[in-house]
Amino acid sequence: MEGKATIIAVAGKGGVGKTSLSATIVRCLVEKYPDKRILAIDADPAVGLSTALGIDVKLTIDDIRKEIIASVDEGDTRTAIELLGEAKYRIFDALVETNGYSFIAVGRPETAGCYCKINTYLKEVISILSNEFDYVIIDGEAGIEQINRRVMEKVTHLLLITDPSKKGCQVINTIKSVSDELVMYEKIGVIVNRMADESLKDYIDTKGIPVLSYIEDDKNLSVFDIKGENIFNLPAESNVVNGVKKALNEIGVI
């Protein structure tokens, strides 16, 4: 594993509360490690993590990619090294510094046409950037392929989020199978979110992936989601805050 950063990738089926849990992970790390450098990467095209963290996104990594592509299409003949240098410089423009952590958004997926070299450069730049931090949290879209394709190939901790549904569990098992081929990770675990009843545990089949915590329905979080409020303002005794802390403890992050 290159670099010293603890890199936590969060993945799961859409609609299971993945982004809210990613934001809560950021909060828990900021509270636990006020002196550490923490980076939140929003790798979901919906840019939901920024809303959950109360951040106004003005520039994304994909915006930068499009600018570089436009310059190449217009006949810019600079070398790959020069393009990488510009991408690194521009990515720092997209970095938002806030209370206790930094934030960056990947943005929309690639448009038609292959710009594989530029995409590879940007992935390399994100890896370089990540090495400037102690903790990196990646909120991915519903799946894991894009982490490999657009962000980075190596993570230290892979957190899979599901609800108690059979479909949710099937998705995380599929993500693990894909991850075993595409993404290098050291530790893996599941958070089962939105548990309506303790008795549901008997029906949850994660195919041997360790369950780090079960989080009961959180009415506080539901209200915050509707209002688009900053997760840092969620009461400390909330189910989601306690559940995320337990999960991070179980997997050895805090």
What are the pLDDT digits (tens) for 6-56? Answer: 999 999 988 899 999 999 999 999 999 999 999 999 988 777 899 999 999
Residues 94 and 56: their CA atoms lie apart, in Å, by: 11
For 165, phi then psi, to 5°, come to: -70, 155
Distance CA 155, CA 137 (A): 10
**Residue 179: per-residue pLDDT:** 86
Confidence check: pLDDT of 116 > 70: no
Please say if the pLDDT value at position 159 is more than 50.
yes
Least confident stretch, 105-119, 130-144, 203-217:
105-119
Ordered structural domains, the chain, with CATH: 6-250 (3.40.50.300)
Give the lowest-confidence range in 67-71, 97-101, 116-120, 245-249.
116-120
CA nearest 183: which of 217, 164, 156, 208? 156
Please give the pLDDT value at position 108. 72
Percent share of the chain, pLDDT over 70: 86
Q: What pLDDT does residue 1 have?
A: 39
Closest CA to 242 of 63, 234, 1, 137: 234
In angstroms, the CA 35 to CA 212 distance is 26
Q: Given a cut of 80, is residue 142 above it in pLDDT?
A: no
Task: Give 87-91's long-range contacts (Cβ < 8 A, gap of 24+).
Answer: 87/118, 87/121, 87/122, 87/125, 88/125, 88/128, 88/129, 90/64, 91/61, 91/64, 91/122, 91/125, 91/126, 91/129
- Percent pLDDT > 90 in the chain is 52
Q: Name the band, by pLDDT with cuts 50, 70 and 90, for residue 74.
A: confident
User: So what's the pLDDT on residue 150?
Assistant: 58
CB 218 within 8 Å of CB 188: no
- Mean pLDDT taken over the chain: 86
pLDDT band at 233, cuts 50/70/90?
very high
Binning pLDDT at 50, 70 and 90, where does residue 134 land?
very high
Range of 70-74, 111-115, 203-207 with top mean pLDDT? 203-207
Q: Give the span between the Cα atoms of 134 and 252, in whole angstroms.
A: 15
**pLDDT at residue 2 greater than cutoff 50:** no
Q: Is 10 or 152 the better-scoring residue by pLDDT? A: 10
Q: Are 225 and 12 in contact (CB under 8 A)?
A: no
Q: Which of 103-117, 171-185, 235-249 has the highest mean pLDDT?
A: 235-249
Tokens 């990770």 found at: 185
Q: Residue 69 phi/psi, 5° resolution?
A: -60, -45
| pLDDT tens, residue by residue, 45-68 | 777 899 999 999 999 888 887 877
